[in-house]
Amino acid sequence: MTRRMTPRACLACGLHVDAVTAVAREGTYKDEPKPSPGAFTLCIGCGHLMVFAEDMSLRNPTAAELVEAGRSDVVGVTTMAISHKIRELDKKKRQ
């Protein structure tokens, strides 16, 4: 499920992010999920891991959050999928 949001720039590559898509195990959400403070997000352009701040701006994760993300199979699988897609797009650009 994709939800539009106020555009924000990725802290690593500067890509303007204007939507979020929830990635979770089936049945996790009763209703359409929406980002909340403390939720992880990944840039679709470069795969940079960020966290939604209390005011819903983006910030870099703390050391503790990096450990949490590293233990999360959902974050891990999503990161791998985005990295794969970025490599595919880069390969097409070079052709």
Residue showing tokens 């990725």: 10
Q: Please tell me the predicted confidence (pLDDT) of residue 51.
A: 92
Which of the pair, 92 or 52, is modelled with greater confidence?
A: 52
Rg (the chain; Cα; Å): 14
Cβ pair 52, 41 in contact under 8 A: yes
The per-residue pLDDT for range 17-73, each reduced to its tens digit, is: 888 877 666 666 666 667 889 988 888 888 888 999 999 899 999 998 888 887 877
Boundaries of every domain in the chain: 2-94
What is each CA distance from 36 to 3, 5, 52, 53, in whole angstroms?
12, 12, 7, 8
| Residue spans of alpha helices (H) in the chain | 63-71, 73-94
**What is the distance of C-alpha 45 from the center of its chain?**
10
pLDDT of 7 higher than 80:
yes
Report if pTM > 0.75.
Answer: no
